[in-house]
Structure 1
Amino acid sequence: MSVRTRFAPSPTGYLHIGGVRTALYSWLHARRQGGRFVLRIEDTDLERSTPEATAAILEGMAWLGLDWDEGPFYQTQRMDRYREVLAQMLAAGTAYYCYCSREEVDAMREEQRTRGEKPRYDGRCRTRSTAREGVAPVIRFRSPDTGETVVEDLIHGRVSFQNSELDDLIIARSDGTPTYNFCVVVDDWDMGITHVIRGDDHLNNTPRQMQILQALGANLPVYAHVPMILGPDKQKLSKRHGAVSVLEYREQGFLPDALLNFLIRLGWSHGDEEIFSREQMIEFFQINTVNKAASAFNPEKLLWINAQHMQRLSPEGLAQHLRPYLDAQGITEASLAQGPDLSAVVALLQERAKTLVEMAEAARIFYLAPVTGEVKDVEKHLHGQGALLESLLQHLEALPVWTAAAIHSAIQELAVSHAEGKMGKIAQPLRVAVAGRAVSPPIDGTLALLGKAETLARIRHARSWLAAV
């Protein structure tokens, strides 16, 4: 039987990293087994579900490259099917109308608490043969009274639930709308889902869903409940820890494969390896080797993994990822056309940047000349250096070839004659003159990419600016 997994988010908010990891594990299991990955939007919460959240989920999945084979399916478009199955269950006696009011159920549970019992619906409407005038009934599932329901979970192992502690679940509200646990069961049944991979906060729902599937005569899927992700302080992950929309990671300059690499390592490992390509993730991942303990989110580790992925891409490939971030720096297509080749700039910056945003900021100096430098860097490195800039102009202008090696030699020669051999005393004023700040990639490589004419023009501008202040 072909493996079929699903990811079924609710569009009541953004797609966060916990959901992405669940989607990733489901996607990887399907891809490793040559199966199918289904995307389902569970949008029956009409008050909280929004089109914007749905669009953000689809955009996030597309950005991450977690492509689905079927769907997206929407629960709100399947209401006729849910009503059909409800009618079948009522006819078969596996479900029944319950006319108890909320007040009656609350009183029932309070009496049970008083007696020291676990509060649960006592099934008093199971044998009711007539309707109750003026009361719109709910529909309850007739759950087994005795025995146990066992979840053979791929991550948590054997988890047993006593049926006596599971009361008759409401599967349709008094207005006729089906409930979450019922819709999920019908969807998984109709879509032939063989493996349900989801967060372990759903583990307590599983025995009820299994019982409904059994009552329908359906095959049970295999379950794997993934542990939660905690913040660095071991508390529940929140926005301050990084529980933000996955699209915010795109805005912050993370590569999709790096984010997936980071998430797969939160609870899973393959020896001591840390960095995985997408192909390696598919090859190595096994859902039954996921750790059942919660994992902690580590922002510094995410940055490191992103930097590793940036360094392993070809300059040409990384340049394609970088282009959308250049607009924010004011680098237009016209600027790119007039400046050095972007792939060459990327190759120079590749070992230094941790995110695409950092790289775009660093690339700015190659396409936009600084109007003035950063104040603290100008005061520290450039003030009073008019004579040095004049010497730099003479040395650099005299170079017969404009290469990084030739530039390095010229700066080194000037350092011997003007700065007791200390390259920094030449390089730092030069950086501020051409880049507007004291931090840049290696200065010889920077000037080589800027080109001779642009470099000399920027030094002349800095000299003139110094003379005027």
Structure 2
Amino acid sequence: MGFCEAPSPVGRFAPSPTGRMHAGNVFAALMAWLVAKSQGGEIVLRIEDLDRERSKPEFIDSIMRDFEYLGLTWDRGPYFQSDRTDAYEAAFHDLEARGLLYPCFCTRADLHAASAPHRGEKTVYPGTCSRLTAEECIERARKRRPAERLVVPDEDFAFTDLIQGPYRQNLASECGDFLVRRSDGAFAYQLAVVLDDADEGVNSVVRGVDLLCSTPQQLYLQDLFGFEHPAYAHIPLITGERDRRLSKRDRDADMEALRTRFKTPEALIGHIAGLAGIVGTCEPVALDELLERFDLAPLAGVIQVQWR
């Protein structure tokens, strides 16, 4: 089906252990599995536990049990981002040595007040701290530990998404310099995910359309480190009432409720596949049967699916 050019596609499950999985997470994992397995590829399980405060061991266990319950097996892993600090640190210092980073002292309130709106869920950083003198940085560092931002070029980064089609973004005007390390010392998602994908051989990335506008940042980082670009497929978001995105925090359609409602993995997978339009009905379906007739074409250009 030509999802990615590599002869042996490697996809990934990349859950954050900050709560129980919900229907949207199941849909993303199902699609990643189908894309990889439809080409005889592999799946890597990565636990994205960068957020040390919210990540809990019990959620890691429940996520893995839920994958196993659904039959969504993985071939390698689990790998943990919390074990990867040395790799992130080395990459950070590489960027620093190239003069591509600068400290940022902006608070969330500062960013909200100064940033320009951008399509999707992002705002454009106006470069406030890039204009600080060395003396000003020293003075501000006495009061607040800075985050670190990566300087972006005034260039367009473009790719063709396997579901959403062609996408282009000018990093300077539509994104701005972005964080690679937060003020609390934690490395930012954009840096971590690029290094993880490269080191784990991931060349097929399937995830929600809300992350489409973040992809050019990752393409830029991949170029800086000399990594190949994966194939990307940004799937529709499953939304609740009034177009509200499902979330772990609100326990919307979480796995405990889903298992109670649908009784079997086949019923749950069939319902989600039917809502998304990758099969014609919401009737129960076995994974191997779904795999035989899997096609991305029905999802072309779709950005939202209503949960019911």
TM (normalized to structure 2)?
A: 0.83
The amino acid of 1:156's aligned partner reads Q
Residue of structure 1 equivalent to 2:59 = 53
Residue of structure 2 equivalent to 1:72 = 78
Q: Do the aligned partners of 1:268 and 1:289 also contact (CA within 8 Å) in 2?
A: yes
Find the aligned partners of 1:188 and 1:269 in 2 and give their Cα distance.
27
- Unaligned stretches of 5+ residues in structure 1: 299-469
Give the drift of 1:60.
Answer: 0.7
Residue of structure 2 equivalent to 1:235 = 243
The amino acid of 1:97's aligned partner reads Y
User: Please, which of 106, 110, 134 is the counterpart of residue 102 of structure 1?
Assistant: 106
Residue of structure 1 equivalent to 2:226 = 217
Give the drift of 1:154.
Answer: 1.0
Give the drift of 1:142.
Answer: 1.7
Distance 1:14 1:242, change over 3 A: closer
Give the drift of 1:151.
Answer: 3.3
Give the drift of 1:40.
Answer: 0.9
Q: Do the aligned partners of 1:16 and 1:245 also contact (CA within 8 Å) in 2?
A: yes
Give the drift of 1:92.
Answer: 2.7
Aligned counterparts, 1:359-398, within 5 A: none
Aligned counterparts, 1:62-141, within 5 A: 62-93=68-99, 95-98=100-103, 100-102=104-106, 106=110, 110=114, 120-122=125-127, 125=130, 132=138, 135=141, 136-141=145-150
Give the drift of 1:52.
Answer: 1.5
Residue of structure 1 equivalent to 2:293 = 284
- Secondary structure of the residue aligned to 2:138 is coil
Q: Do the aligned partners of 1:14 and 1:245 also contact (CA within 8 Å) in 2?
A: yes
Give the drift of 1:111.
Answer: 9.6
Find the aligned partners of 2:273 and 2:303 in 1 and give their Cα distance.
14
Give the drift of 1:165.
Answer: 2.3
Find the aligned partners of 2:163 and 2:291 in 1 and give their Cα distance.
18
User: Please, which of 37, 45, 57 is the counterpart of residue 39 of structure 1?
Assistant: 45
Residue by residue over 1:337-394, the C-alpha shift from the partner in whole angstroms, topping out at 9 and shown as x without a partner, is xxxxxxxxxxxxxxxxxxxxxxxxxxxxxxxxxxxxxxxxxxxxxxxxxxxxxxxxxx
- Secondary structure of the residue aligned to 2:17 is coil
Q: Alignment identity in percent? A: 34
Q: Do the aligned partners of 1:105 and 1:121 also contact (CA within 8 Å) in 2?
A: no
Residue by residue over 1:186-212, the C-alpha shift from the partner in whole angstroms, topping out at 9 and shown as x without a partner, is 111211211111111111211111111
- Secondary structure of the residue aligned to 2:276 is coil
- Secondary structure of the residue aligned to 1:125 is helix
Distance 1:158 1:175, change over 3 A: same
TM (normalized to structure 1)?
A: 0.56
- Secondary structure of the residue aligned to 1:184 is helix
The amino acid of 1:213's aligned partner reads Q
Find the aligned partners of 2:257 and 2:112 in 1 and give their Cα distance.
47
Give the drift of 1:27.
Answer: 0.7
Residue of structure 2 equivalent to 1:349 = none
The amino acid of 2:293's aligned partner reads F
Q: Do the aligned partners of 1:37 and 1:69 also contact (CA within 8 Å) in 2?
A: yes
Residue of structure 2 equivalent to 1:150 = 158
Give the drift of 1:28.
Answer: 1.1
Q: Do the aligned partners of 2:13 and 2:46 also contact (CA within 8 Å) in 1?
A: yes
Residue of structure 2 equivalent to 1:329 = none
Find the aligned partners of 2:65 and 2:288 in 1 and give their Cα distance.
22
Q: Which has the larger radius of gyration?
A: 1
Find the aligned partners of 2:133 and 2:193 in 1 and give their Cα distance.
28
Q: Which moved more, 1:135-144 or 1:246-255?
A: 246-255
The amino acid of 1:101's aligned partner reads F
Residue by residue over 1:405-432, the C-alpha shift from the partner in whole angstroms, topping out at 9 and shown as x without a partner, is xxxxxxxxxxxxxxxxxxxxxxxxxxxx
Q: Do the aligned partners of 2:275 and 2:282 also contact (CA within 8 Å) in 1?
A: no
Determine whether 1:170 maps to 2:174. Answer: no
Residue of structure 2 equivalent to 1:352 = none
User: Please, which of 201, 216, 232 is the counterpart of residue 192 of structure 1?
Assistant: 201
Aligned counterparts, 1:302-313, within 5 A: none
Give the drift of 1:223.
Answer: 1.0
Find the aligned partners of 1:269 and 1:112 in 2 and give their Cα distance.
37
Residue of structure 1 equivalent to 2:120 = none
Find the aligned partners of 2:27 and 2:290 in 1 and give their Cα distance.
13
Residue by residue over 1:53-102, the C-alpha shift from the partner in whole angstroms, topping out at 9 and shown as x without a partner, is 11111111111111111111111111111101111121233x3131x422
Q: Do the aligned partners of 1:123 and 1:168 also contact (CA within 8 Å) in 2?
A: no
How many residues get paired? 289
Residue of structure 1 equivalent to 2:3 = none
Bigger fraction of residues in strand? 2
- Secondary structure of the residue aligned to 2:275 is coil
Give the drift of 1:184.
Answer: 1.2
Residue of structure 2 equivalent to 1:296 = 306
The amino acid of 1:63's aligned partner reads Y
CA RMSD of aligned residues (A): 3.0
Bigger fraction of residues in helix? 1
